[in-house]
Amino acid sequence: MSNFNSNPIVVNANMASGWRSLQTLNVGNLPSNIQQTSGPVTRQWGIQVVELVWNSPPPGGAVMVTDPNDGTILALADVPAAYAGGDIDVTPISRKWRDFKVTISGGNLLIYYRA
């Protein structure tokens, strides 16, 4: 089961929307004196990724992390069909994420971060 409110964030299924809308740790808006002109500034600013670990990836599987706002690929990994097992360290393309969405074929993606 995915857990968007933990550290590490645990994702084990495809995300229909971005993490900022799914997490419930920081909701609401910041005070009106720091609002932006296009609307309220939400409390969850984003995260700095420290480590990504893919637990129990399926042979021939893939995981992709993208920014739901513009589709930028933040991390990407795949597993050969003859994979024997074990965890995979995924190297993020970018370490600072304002939001993210995961597409995963199986296993658990653990996202360790600093706020």
Cα 92 from Cα 97, distance rounded (Å): 10
Q: Which H or E run contains 20?
A: helix 19-22
> If you ran DSSP here, which 8-state letter would residue 88 be given?
E
Q: 106: Cβ–Cβ under 8 A, 6 or more apart, which residues?
A: 56, 57, 58, 61
Phi and psi, residue 70, nearest 5°: -135, 0
Q: 6: Cβ–Cβ under 8 A, 6 or more apart, which residues?
A: none
**What is the CATH number that goes with domain 9-22+43-114?**
2.60.120
In the predicted model, is pLDDT for residue 15 greater than 90?
A: yes
pTM of the model: 0.82
- The arithmetic mean of pLDDT across residues 45-54, rounded, is 90
Amino acid at 88: I
Instruction: Express each pLDDT in 50-61 by its tens digit.
Output: 999 999 999 999
Instruction: Express each pLDDT in 87-112 by its tens digit.
Output: 899 999 989 998 999 999 999 999 99
Cα 60 from Cα 56, distance rounded (Å): 12
Cα 112 from Cα 61, distance rounded (Å): 21
Domain extents in the chain: 9-22+43-114
